[in-house]
A and B are shown apart, each in its own frame.
Chain A
Amino acid sequence: MKFLAKIQWPLGLLTVLVLGAGLWLVIHAPADYQQGDAVRILYVHVPAAKMSLLSYLFLTVVSGLFLWRRTETLDILAEASVAVGAAFTFITLASGSIWGKPMWGAWWAWDARLTSMLVLLILFMGLMALRNALDNPVKAARATAVLAIIGAVDLPIIHFSVVWWRTLHQPPSFAGASKQAITGDLLPPLLVMSVAFVLLGAYLLVLKSREVSARRQWEALETERLEHGHE
């Protein structure tokens, strides 16, 4: 946690700078030939979606390591990544909805991509609920870690949904070196925004981890005080 405290400020500053540069590019990028200015929503939507999946991937890894090593730091990182992931998933669904209404003509469609993404949000919220439902923190940590690993099944489903099934949602615009469907000046803002969102995710993870750690220390002190009476 000391390490996290040290990198918090430099990381935050870097995030603000890259995010600022990204937003400048988003505002100055040309409009899409069909979508017009609505394409700018995707500069938030796509990076947020990538971060939702990345957060869950990170959660799965730390949960696995926690079940193996039983180190509290890993559990703190797991609890923090659930909150960060839920935020990014919500941003993904909300921004997608705002884009979908004018472009598709619908706020929501029950296709495979949208539904599997909603399942991810429910998973994140379920993990929060499960941790809060169990009084014993050790049991809560183990149970959420196990549920998190089971839930990882959703990750490949989200990723490949647009390839496996016919969906309303468009297929990926990048598929290896052979295919790149975003051209010209529309590309740089997406790349910079993606980097900015990775930094933002890391920064939020640092903040949340420190908060969780501080809260747990506080609770431990409280318990100790109650056990030893009022001296």
Chain B
Amino acid sequence: MNSKNRRLFLIGSVVVVGGALLTLVFTSFTGALVYFYTPTEIKAKSSELTGHKVRIGGLVQEGSLVRETGNLKIRFLVADNVERLPVQYEGMTPDLFREGQGVIVEGTWRGGAEPFQAVTILAKHSEDYVPVKMSEEGIAKARESMLKTLQ
């Protein structure tokens, strides 16, 4: 192979490898890269997901959070714009876990007949950053952004 052919070969392989990487990313990874399901999606896919480990994301429904006294058990509803899903959890919750805030719960999907037993709770933060004194208007805006990311 002379040097011109070699360079052509090099550029060719770069294009092929790069193209393959891109194709991989845009096709097979797309589904797997969704970090969590919404309550609406989980209900639609309920039967195929039964027995699988899933993450479900949404807002903690205002007024739904119940803390049991004497232990770390909590119950609340995870809601998107359409559906809401009862969740149970026992343990410490992250700082940002509050009513009206974004949350991602992890656990095994059992078909939804009884409350979803969460093993892990992650708080989801929106892209809004608001100083303490401006919080009134900020809270409304942050909630709007959070709902948008859940669609």
Contact = CB atoms under 8 A, between A and B. Distances in A.
Interface stretch (B43-51, B68-76, B88-96): B88-96
Interface residues of A, number: 40
Contacts of B149: 166, 170-171
A104 B128 contact: no
A219 interface: no
B104 interface: yes
B16 to A, nearest CB: 10
B1 interface: no
B132 A31 contact: yes
Q: Chain A interface mostly helix, strand, loop or mixed?
A: loop
Interface in A1-53: 29-36, 38-39, 42
A77 B92 CA distance: 48
Interface in A180-205: 181-186
Interface of B: 10, 14, 17-18, 21-22, 25, 30, 33-36, 57, 92-98, 101, 104, 120-135, 138-139, 141-142, 145, 149-150
- Of the candidates B17, B33, B120, B133, the one having the most CB atoms from chain A within 10 angstroms of its own CB is B33
Contact of A165 (B34, B122, B128, B132): B34
A101 to B, nearest CB: 8
A157 interface: yes
Contact of A181 (B94, B95, B127, B131): B127
